[in-house]
Structure 1
Amino acid sequence: MARPIWTGSITFGLVSVPVAMYSATHDHEVSFHQFEKDSADRIRYKRVNERTGKEVDFDGIVKGADVGGGDYVMLDRDELDSVAPGRSKSLEIDRFVELGDIDPIYYQRTYYLGPGGKDTAKVYGLLRDAMADAGRAAVGTLVMRGKEYLAAVRAENDLLILQTMYFADEVRDPKEEIDGLPRRGAAKKAELAMAQQLIDSMAGKWKPADFRDTYTDRVNDLIKQKKAGKEITAAEPAPEPTNVTDLFEVLKRSVENAQKRRSAPAKKTTAKKKAPAKKATAKKTTAKKKAS
């Protein structure tokens, strides 16, 4: 069983529910080391005093806040922890909101919440069932790893799920970030109708297992090919932008193609697709480690 990454209590009103937090997701990208080009020499990063040039241990480092004029206020870890809110390790609920009222842009990362212990499982179950029946999410704050988080807790099947969230001032205003957004209703009626038809023809149920990180698969294949000195299979280039004058015809052909795919009989076995190859002979460049 996994070890919890945070333990504390959900508090609302006079009720306190001990919980343990577990990671709900993990990344599966390929891990790389860094080398100097055309060599087998590893690149290392060190914490170095810029004045003396000497390496500094992590425990010997403090944080400095720039207060202007080249001056800094130095703070060590204990000083930062002393002002951290929620030192009692509680997730304090401020309110219960409708799930649909939370814009997904505010969500950061997902965690599972389990009961804090066998003797508190009943209280945990009561909160979970009450929230499920109400269809609401609990919104509050907690402190974890030296940082305060806004968080939403919701009931899902047999457990409670917590999602850390951005605070309002951490979400950028798109109008300040993006130029040239077209106004609503500028599209031609025929084009809009055809685009809606294309959306309908491609509609389906959300099935997470239908999607896979094919880029990571390709990177792993690339490593195998280069290790064996084989030819490298390049992916297809990105499609060219659709010309505005051809938009209606492109939409129409897209609808026809989508309808053909839907009417085609399902194949019993799905072969692994490979993009058309752009051949390039790879040299064996597998570096051998130099003896230290």
Structure 2
Amino acid sequence: MARAIWKGSIAFGLVNIPVALTSAESRPDVQLHMVDSSNHARIRYERVNADTGEEVPWDRMVKGYEHEDGKFILLSPEELESVQPELTKTIEISEFVELSEIDPILFDKPYYLEPEKRGRKAYALLREALRKSGKAGISRVVIRTREYLSAMFVRDDVLVLMLLRFPQEVKAISTLELPASDDKQWHAAKKEMDLALRLIDDMTEDWNPDDIHDEYRESLMAFIEKKISKGDSVSDVKDPEEDEDKGAGENVVNLAAYLEESVKKAGKTKSAAKSAAKSAKKKSTKKSTKKTTRKNAAKKSGKSKSKRSA
């Protein structure tokens, strides 16, 4: 297994699939550090009080929210912990949606889900079911101390857990000055559109991301390696190790039985919702019928009173 961020389980109905969560990203960035040119020493950043200019020790540092200019609400570690999501190692799928219905702009960060040995059969079942249905499982997952919205779908033979941005995190396009699609002054002439489509057609190729490289990084690394070969010294900076939390899901004893029970529960939930809707409709119909009867009775009473007075 690759280095896991945490180990837990996927909750699929009553089925638990023990998995390990690993990052799907590999960013071989060239790390450049700030160095003092006089003696080539790393530059250290200090925690300085903005008013006094004095360095602040760790035991005096607290977190605060600036609600007005210069006014802060101080938050202790205990207060912050009280509003944090419950630390859980379960990715509980709450619903399934068409993968094509998820706006790609909501995609944020991908992770791979790798099964543990005792969960491979259930893992393969969920994977193939998602592949055939073309759907994605929506869930919430807690990574370290933050809760994320996520979508689970299939890529090749792996289940991908894609962290999603909440819709509130996406800027509204109404803040941009855009040419309106229904404004005729921006409509292209037929010749212009034909030429644009022809250009797109001529430039269309099969997408092969393996042919695309980070040219800047390759050029920078080639330049650095050239300097190394000339005898310049380079510090070897190790990446900080990621936390590997322990935890595992429960073993699946009878997969078909759990699935059948899950289907029954889902069916009961749907039927209960339908019966509730029907009951509400009946009550609404009865109320409207009573109101109509009362109105008719009132009308008749009014007519009889007018006849008497006449």
The 8 Å contact of residues 23 and 111 in structure 1, kept in 2 or not, is answered as yes
Higher Cα Rg, which structure: 2
Q: Aligned-pair distance for 1:113?
A: 0.3
Residue 81 of structure 1 aligns to which amino acid in structure 2? E
Q: How does 1:50-199 map to 2 (within 5 A)?
A: 50=50, 51=52, 53-57=54-58, 61-68=61-68, 70-115=70-115, 117-176=116-175, 178-181=176-179, 183=181, 186-199=187-200
Q: Equivalents in 2 of 1:49, 1:138: separation in Å?
A: 47
The 8 Å contact of residues 48 and 54 in structure 1, kept in 2 or not, is answered as yes
- Give 3-state SS (helix, strand or coil) of 2:128's partner: helix
- Give 3-state SS (helix, strand or coil) of 1:9's partner: strand
Contiguous gaps of at least 5 residues in structure 1: 230-285
Residue 53 of structure 1 aligns to which amino acid in structure 2? E
The aligned residue for residue 211 of structure 1 is 212
Q: Equivalents in 1 of 2:80, 2:109: separation in Å?
A: 24
Report 1 or 2 for greater relative contact order, CA contacts < 8 Å, sequence distance ≥ 6: 2
Root-mean-square deviation (CA, aligned residues, Å) is 3.0
Deviations 1:226-247 (A, max 9, x none): 6789xxxxxxxxxxxxxxxxxx
- Give 3-state SS (helix, strand or coil) of 1:33's partner: coil
Q: Equivalents in 1 of 2:60, 2:17: separation in Å?
A: 39
The 8 Å contact of residues 85 and 145 in structure 2, kept in 1 or not, is answered as no
Structure with bigger helix share is 2
Contiguous gaps of at least 5 residues in structure 2: 236-310
Q: Equivalents in 2 of 1:158, 1:78: separation in Å?
A: 43
The aligned residue for residue 261 of structure 1 is none
In 2 relative to 1, CA 111–181 (structure 1 residues): closer, same or farther, beyond 3 Å? Answer: same
Q: Equivalents in 2 of 1:49, 1:35: separation in Å?
A: 24
- Give 3-state SS (helix, strand or coil) of 2:174's partner: helix
Q: Aligned-pair distance for 1:127?
A: 1.5
The 8 Å contact of residues 98 and 137 in structure 1, kept in 2 or not, is answered as yes
TM-score by length of 1: 0.68
Q: Equivalents in 1 of 2:88, 2:233: separation in Å?
A: 52
The 8 Å contact of residues 84 and 143 in structure 1, kept in 2 or not, is answered as no
The 8 Å contact of residues 5 and 21 in structure 1, kept in 2 or not, is answered as yes
The aligned residue for residue 35 of structure 1 is 35
The 8 Å contact of residues 106 and 167 in structure 1, kept in 2 or not, is answered as yes
Residue 132 of structure 1 aligns to which amino acid in structure 2? R
Deviations 1:33-83 (A, max 9, x none): 1135677453221223444713423x7643212344744333344432333
Indicate the percent of aligned positions where both proteins have the same amino acid: 38
Q: Aligned-pair distance for 1:217?
A: 1.5
TM-score by length of 2: 0.65
- Give 3-state SS (helix, strand or coil) of 1:160's partner: strand
The aligned residue for residue 280 of structure 1 is none
Q: Equivalents in 1 of 2:79, 2:18: separation in Å?
A: 28
Length, aligned pairs only: 231
